[in-house]
Structure 1
Amino acid sequence: MVTNHDGPIIRKLAAVPTATGLAARLGVAHLERSGINPAPLLSRSGLSKADLSNHTRISVLSQIELLGQISLATKDAWTGLTLAQDFDLREIGMLYYVAASSQTLGDALRRIERYARVGNEALTVQVEKTSACRIRLSYTGVPRHLDRHQMECFVFALLRVCRQITGKKLAPIKASFVHHRSGNLDKMRRLFGCDIEFDAYADEMHFDPTVLALPLVNADPFLNEIMTQMSEEALSVRTTNTSPFRTLVENTIAPLLPHAEASARVVSRRLGMSERTFARRLAEEDLSFGEILNQMRRDMAIRYLEEDNLQASQIAWLLGFHQSSSFSHACRRWTGKSPSEFRLR
């Protein structure tokens, strides 16, 4: 279990999703280039250098925690983008090759949609083709509100893949992330080539639908057939980690908080349940909606209070409190300190 200053924020799940650990390996290499010993950070994240060197599958939760630790150690608020910016995309492995050998970008995205979980069991990719091509990423089995660096790394790496396999400097029409960001966003806008929305309802990129027909520079039907077969075999042997109901509820609540819409009524509707059925499902797991909402707000408040550029009134809004005083009272209940006292510590 991973802890922060005042107690556990990442709970041990019944079936923790695993990943190949590419983002973690990129992070460790970045630390070493920066002259920082990765061992203490790996230890705090429940990992070892041997795990990464041997390409052992690792907990997705541990990878999320490690990227957060790297951000603090390097004082780089954009760690996910830093890691995704320059690495050789072939390091992604099977998923890259099954996409790159496809005929069109649409074909490649369908391969990524199907096989993304081979690389990271928590990751779900959905490609929707309506008036725009919408590529949405989400987590199952992992609380989304505990992460920002891994998701930013994934989304930008996916954009780089689309650019490399088409040989074109593709730019989304728009991109959005569930988590909060403030301050200067010029770096992210420059890398993506579009405006970025934060505190959104989904992690996604929108493209003109015509990009789906773009031919790929290394299309190879024979290689693609082999890679598709290998990907199917890998998918069939991967253990499916069903998302615990609590995590499903948390990931539904997270994008609703800044919009003050995190109520049992709204969440149950988004989950396709009546409020009565929703309450019964929670009770079956000895949970309550209020308990989950309170724990999430506590976890996120501690993270936000570590960001100097966020005022208490802004944090109150991000957490869905109608008044700053309500957030201050809650902070005292969670930590025994007011927001300003917690920051001084």
Structure 2
Amino acid sequence: MSDTSPKHLAAIARDFAEQLIAQGFSEGDIFSGTGLRKADIAEPEALAPIAALARIFDQGAKLSGDDLIGMRWGFNRRFVQLGLVGYLGRSSHSVKNLVINVARYRRVFSEPIDFDLSELDTKGAFSWSYNLPPRIDLGRMVEAQTAQLIGGLRVVTPRKLVPKFIEFEHRRVQRIADVQHLLGCPVSFGHKANRIGFHLTDLDMPLRTADAGLQKVLQRHCDLVLASRPKDRPDIQVKVEKAIVDRISQGQASVEAVASDLGMSARTLSRRLGSAGTTYQTLLANLRRALAERYLSDHTLSQSEIAYMLGYSDVSSFASAFKRWTGTSPGEMRQTLH
């Protein structure tokens, strides 16, 4: 089945795959389940479905047995390896200017990404998230991207840059101390968005690679790229799924409650979903199934914890629903995901 998730710059996953191949892993194993081949993303500015790119990082962790392999690799990757947006970042005159440039030209390298710079001037913090269904897990790829940002900044700034904190949207329960050691600051997981906080004085640090003339040329190029791209389109299904996730573990994910969160009536929400070819109950069931399979692959979670996270009153209710969806029990599925 082809991956229809929004597209993202493929360079980071392509280069990570090349690193894995150099370590002796086969291209077939690395790209297994992604629907991609290395040749499909060979062009420097190639875009590919973001969910497929994230799976390459998941495969790398699985094949190597190192859950942090992507993050370790990211620290050694430089901005120039990111193509157009990387050169734009390097040519920025300060750390703050780099962040602003990346946020401004985000659509050059990613269709689903969004930035929030509202705290940049006052708290030295910025956040980013992806307009994707919650069932798509980008965790390991986002960790690698974050490591690349911090590692890359340390190469182009006059002194070592250490963030005040980093928050990740995805969930992690293992090796958090190792992640904090690698990133050099307090790190936490399970937030509304990914977020990095810098000391305000660090944002003003100049970049050794700053080039005002080159930056203007690259900005004009980025403007041309953006002009050729289709405009953003709101995805009601993604918005509904995200609203469901915010409420599901409390057992309050009714269509009325979710519609209210989105600023509309239940009737209007049902009509908009109908126009998109689906229903609220279909989205809820499909989301629960996708999240159940993801949670079952995490062997630190008990079935009772998973049942709670999916809004079921007990394990038996969850198990019955899961059997209805898949024809197998949660325990049997967990064995296949080991």
What TM bracket, shorter-length normalisation?
Answer: 0.7 to 0.9
Give the % identical residues.
28
Task: Please name the residue that 2:294 is paired with.
Answer: 303
Partner secondary structure for residue 209 of structure 2: coil
Partner secondary structure for residue 114 of structure 2: strand
Task: Please name the residue that 2:327 is paired with.
Answer: 336
Task: Please name the residue that 1:7 is paired with.
Answer: none
Q: Distance in 2 between matches of 1:88 and 1:156?
A: 10
Task: Please name the residue that 2:62 is paired with.
Answer: 72
1:52 aligns with 2:9: no
Task: Please name the residue that 1:118 is paired with.
Answer: 108
1:37 aligns with 2:37: no
Q: Which amino acid aligns with 1:99?
A: G
Q: Does the aligned pair in 1 maintain the 2:251–2:312 contact within 8 Å?
A: yes
> Do the aligned partners of residues 168 and 336 (structure 1) sit closer, same or farther apart at CA in structure 2, a change above 3 Å counting?
farther
Q: Distance in 2 between matches of 1:72 and 1:259?
A: 32
Unaligned runs of 5+ in 2: none
Task: Please name the residue that 1:28 is paired with.
Answer: 17
Q: Equivalences for 1:197-212 in 2 at 5 Å?
A: 197-212=188-203
Residues 3-31 of structure 1, C-alpha deviation per residue, up to 9 Å, x if partnerless? xxxxxxxxx54xx4323311221231132
> Do the aligned partners of residues 85 and 316 (structure 1) sit closer, same or farther apart at CA in structure 2, a change above 3 Å counting?
farther
Task: Please name the residue that 2:211 is paired with.
Answer: 220
Partner secondary structure for residue 58 of structure 1: strand
Task: Please name the residue that 2:274 is paired with.
Answer: 283
Q: Does the aligned pair in 2 maintain the 1:124–1:139 contact within 8 Å?
A: yes
> Do the aligned partners of residues 260 and 134 (structure 1) sit closer, same or farther apart at CA in structure 2, a change above 3 Å counting?
farther
> Do the aligned partners of residues 117 and 72 (structure 1) sit closer, same or farther apart at CA in structure 2, a change above 3 Å counting?
same
> Do the aligned partners of residues 42 and 282 (structure 1) sit closer, same or farther apart at CA in structure 2, a change above 3 Å counting?
same
Partner secondary structure for residue 194 of structure 1: coil
User: 1:312: Cα distance to partner?
Assistant: 1.4
User: 1:113: Cα distance to partner?
Assistant: 0.3
Q: Distance in 2 between matches of 1:154 and 1:270?
A: 31
Aligned length: 333
Partner secondary structure for residue 175 of structure 2: coil
User: 1:207: Cα distance to partner?
Assistant: 2.9
Partner secondary structure for residue 218 of structure 1: coil
Q: Distance in 2 between matches of 1:204 and 1:161?
A: 17
> Do the aligned partners of residues 44 and 329 (structure 1) sit closer, same or farther apart at CA in structure 2, a change above 3 Å counting?
same
Task: Please name the residue that 1:174 is paired with.
Answer: 165
Unaligned runs of 5+ in 1: 3-11
Q: Does the aligned pair in 1 maintain the 2:7–2:49 contact within 8 Å?
A: yes
Q: Does the aligned pair in 1 maintain the 2:259–2:265 contact within 8 Å?
A: yes
Partner secondary structure for residue 208 of structure 2: coil
Further displaced range: 262-271 or 169-178 = 262-271
Q: Equivalences for 1:229-268 in 2 at 5 Å?
A: 229-240=220-231, 242-254=233-245, 256-257=247-248, 262-268=253-259
After TM superposition, the score normalised by the length of structure 2 is 0.86
After TM superposition, the score normalised by the length of structure 1 is 0.84
User: 1:291: Cα distance to partner?
Assistant: 1.9
Task: Please name the residue that 1:109 is paired with.
Answer: 99
User: 1:91: Cα distance to partner?
Assistant: 0.2
Q: Does the aligned pair in 2 maintain the 1:179–1:255 contact within 8 Å?
A: no
